[in-house]
Amino acid sequence: MTLSTCQPGKEPGTGGKEIQTMLGQLFRRLASPVDETRQATVRAVQEICLPVVVNNLVDRLVEAVKRGRKTAQPAASTLAEMGAPALIALTRVLLQSRNPAVQLRVLGILERLAWKVDGDDRFHLMTTLLGAGRLAEDETVLLAVAKVLTEVTHTSQGTTGATPGDEVRMLGLFRVMAQVATVQAPDATA
């Protein structure tokens, strides 16, 4: 993009079109099936782009994952590589979507992203996963949430890999939480 689009005398609105065109080009590179292209673009975006641009690109990548487009797999890989900048958008989709296929795709990305977040971002991820476990309506999604939460727990403890009973224990925790919520829920007929 050149500075000429921002100078007086230029047709109004052409800068916005040029920006959208450039964002589209970046998106295509970030959703490229060629690993080298995608990884180089991720590094460049992280080093050069303003947060508003990164957020716009993350939103576009998340949409590709949600819709299961042909670019969904490379977009998922890019989101996992981006780490923390992708976290908020992904956790929002996880909590808002009721589509198990979308939830499972997002959980797959969050599992790969677990090693790239720490501190407040890890806490956000863990609390979101606890909420997602309570909201899960599909057993497969619930198991995937338990798996990711187990992975995040291990990353926060500095250990690698889950032990055979970890996911089962996490799944049991979600079931107990659901029972407690049911017992504590006020009676709607009263």
- Rounded CA-CA distance 147/173 in Å is 12
- Rounded CA-CA distance 152/122 in Å is 7
pLDDT confidence of residue 164: 58
50 belongs to a structural domain: yes
- Rounded CA-CA distance 55/168 in Å is 36
Kindly report, residue by residue over 42-60, the tens digit of the pLDDT.
999 999 999 999 999 999 9
pLDDT confidence of residue 181: 55
9 belongs to a structural domain: no
1 belongs to a structural domain: no
5 belongs to a structural domain: no
**CB-count exposure of residue 152 (10 Å: 0-12, 13-18, 19+):** buried
Type of residue at 102? V
pLDDT confidence of residue 2: 33
Identify the domain containing residue 160 by its residue range.
Answer: 35-183
Number of folded domains that form the chain: 1
CATH number, residue 60: 1.25.40.90
Q: Which of 13-22, 71-80, 119-128 is least confident? A: 13-22
Residue 76 vs residues 5, 30, 99: alpha-carbon distances, Å? 33, 10, 17
2 belongs to a structural domain: no
Provide DSSP, the chain: --GGGGSTTSPTTHHHHHHHHHHHHHHHHHT-S-HHHHHHHHHHHHHHS-HHHHHHHHHHHHHHHHHT-TTHHHHHHHHHHH-HHHHHHHHHHHHH---HHHHHHHHHHHHHHGGG--HHHHHHHHHHHHHHHHH--SHHHHHHHHHHHHHHHHHHHT--S--TTHHHHHHHHHHHHHHHHHHHSPPTT-
Q: Which residue has the higher pLDDT, 160 or 23?
A: 23
| Confidence at 172, pLDDT banded by 50, 70, 90 | low
6 belongs to a structural domain: no
4 belongs to a structural domain: no
189 belongs to a structural domain: no
Alpha carbon 119 to its chain centroid, in Å, reads 17
**CB-count exposure of residue 88 (10 Å: 0-12, 13-18, 19+):** middle
